[in-house]
A and B are shown apart, each in its own frame.
Chain A
Amino acid sequence: MTLELFFQYLFAGITYGSLYAIVAIGFNIIYNTTGIINFAQGEFVMLGGMISISLLQFMPLGAAIAVAVLITMLIGAAIEMLFIRWLVHPSVLRLVIITIGISILLRESALHIWGESIRSLPYFYGNEITTFSLGSVNISPQVIWVILACAVMMVGLNIFFRSTPIGREMRACAANRTAALLCGVNTRNMVTLSFMLSAGIGALAGCVMSPITYTQYDSGASLAIKGFTVAILGGLGNSMAAVAAGLLLGIIEAFSVTVVPLAFQDAVTITILLIILFVRPHGIFGSSEAARLKDF
Chain B
Amino acid sequence: MKTRKLLSLTALALLTAGLHLFTVLSGTQFYLTQLTMAAYYGLVVIGLGVMMGYAGQISIGHAGFFAIGGYLSAALTTNDLTPFLAPGLIRWLDRVGLLVHGQDIFGDPLMTVSPWAACLSAVTVTALIALLIGGPVLKLRGHYLAMATLGFGIIVYRIFLASPFFGEADGISEVPGFQLLPATGLLGPVIISGDAAHRVLNYYLAWGVLLLGMALLLNLIDSRAGRALRSLHSSEEAAEAFGIDTARCKVQVFVLSAIYAALAGSLLTHFNGGIGPGEASVMKSVRYVALVAVGGMTSLWGTLVMGVGLTFLSLRGVFGSYDDVVFGVILIAVMLFAPEGVLRGLFGRALQRFLPGRQT
Contact = CB atoms under 8 A, between A and B. Distances in A.
Interface in B284-324: 286, 289-290, 293, 321-322, 324
A159 interface: no
A108 B331 CA distance: 14
Contacts of B123: none
Interface in A83-110: 83, 87, 91-94, 96-98, 100-102, 104-105, 107-109
B335 A97 contact: yes
Interface in A28-58: 37, 39
B162 A263 contact: yes
Chain A, interface size: which category?
35 or more
B159 interface: yes
B329 A105 contact: yes
Contacts of B158: 263-264, 266-267
A270 B161 contact: no
Contacts of A94: 335, 339
A159 B335 CA distance: 37
B346 to A, nearest CB: 19
Most buried by A among B140, B147, B290: B147
B155 A98 contact: no
Contacts of B140: 277, 281, 296
A270 B335 contact: no
A155 to B, nearest CB: 29
A228 B147 contact: yes
A85 B155 CA distance: 34
Contacts of A92: 141-143
A278 B132 CA distance: 13
B71 interface: no
Nearest to B331: A101
B345 interface: no
A91 B141 CA distance: 12
A225 interface: yes
A273 B162 contact: no
Contacts of B327: 104
Contact of B332 (A83, A91, A225, A295): A83
A101 B162 contact: no
Nearest to A97: B335
B234 to A, nearest CB: 11
A102 B339 contact: no
Interface in A237-296: 261, 263-264, 266-267, 270-271, 273-274, 277-278, 281, 295-296
Contacts of B328: 101-102, 104-105, 108
A78 to B, nearest CB: 13
Contact of A221 (B148, B161, B282): B282
A74 to B, nearest CB: 19
B336 interface: yes
Contacts of A295: 142
B22 interface: no
Contacts of B283: 104
Nearest to B283: A104
B144 interface: yes
Interface in A206-245: 221-222, 225, 228, 232
B125 to A, nearest CB: 18
B263 to A, nearest CB: 25
Most buried by B among A104, A264, A266, A274: A104
Contacts of A37: 143, 146-147
Most buried by A among B152, B162, B283, B328: B328
A87 B142 contact: no
16 contacts: A83-B332, A92-B143, A96-B58, A97-B293, A100-B60, A100-B286, A101-B290, A108-B322, A225-B151, A228-B147, A232-B147, A264-B162, A270-B151, A273-B147, A277-B144, A295-B142
Given A97-B335, A296-B143, 8 more contacts: A96-B58, A98-B331, A100-B146, A100-B331, A105-B329, A109-B325, A264-B158, A264-B162
User: 3 closest A-B pairs (Cβ-Cβ)?
Assistant: A104-B328, A263-B162, A101-B332
